[in-house]
Amino acid sequence: MTFSSRLLASFRTGHKIIGKFRLALYGKILQGEAELLEQHDRERCVSVGAFYQLADGIARETGMPLEEVDKLIQNMTAAVDPGNPDSVKGALQSFGLLSTDQGRLHNFLASQTLLGDQKKAQVHRVLIGRGEGMDPESLEWVKLGPDVWGEEDTAQLPTDLINEIQQFLLEEKAAMLAAGKPPAPAKKPRRAPKSSAGASTATA
């Protein structure tokens, strides 16, 4: 075990098993995890704004109450390919929304796609930062570093497992906020410079 691994392990308070993964419990989030969560929070605000712009336009066009518009948007986004402009136009037509601004629907779909990508990035950071996987042959826990587990592996995980691991991260954040703790370091500390006599100049 490297020095950085031993240092990070000193923050561990236990483990939580989710599916075939075992995740270290710290009662806080790592610095890299915190950065991804902040990005996700910012994009969620953008997505909410895009949703209300789209919903307002549909409500004005159809006279439907927002509760029904919400369900309509959910059904419509499930049937459309965000990367295909013809699909966006076709979805509006099939749901009888011929006058709705295609740009608003496209912006909302783009924000949803980005949120999904960010969720996978959070889960990937959790897995390689604090995760172990059960080896199906040896039935032993294997540390999931970047050399063992790639982003393409995370992308293939079932949606419900992605959601459960993200929820685990949110619970660790909630525990940190409740205790008033700062995020734990995630990077290997730099080696302290040495004096001409070869003694470390690091302070306690």
pLDDT tens per residue, the chain (204 residues)? 666 667 667 777 899 999 999 999 999 988 889 999 999 999 999 999 999 998 998 888 888 888 899 988 888 888 787 777 778 788 888 888 866 777 888 888 888 889 999 999 999 999 999 999 999 999 999 999 899 999 999 999 999 999 999 999 999 999 999 987 777 665 544 444 443 333 333 333
Q: Residue 200 has what pLDDT?
A: 32
Q: Residue 1 has what pLDDT?
A: 61
Q: Residue 194 has what pLDDT?
A: 44
Query: Domain residues of the chain, as ranges?
Result: 14-179
Within 13 Å of residue 164, how many CA atoms lie on the same side as its CB? 13
Cα(138)–Cα(193) distance, rounded to whole angstroms?
Answer: 43
pTM: 0.74
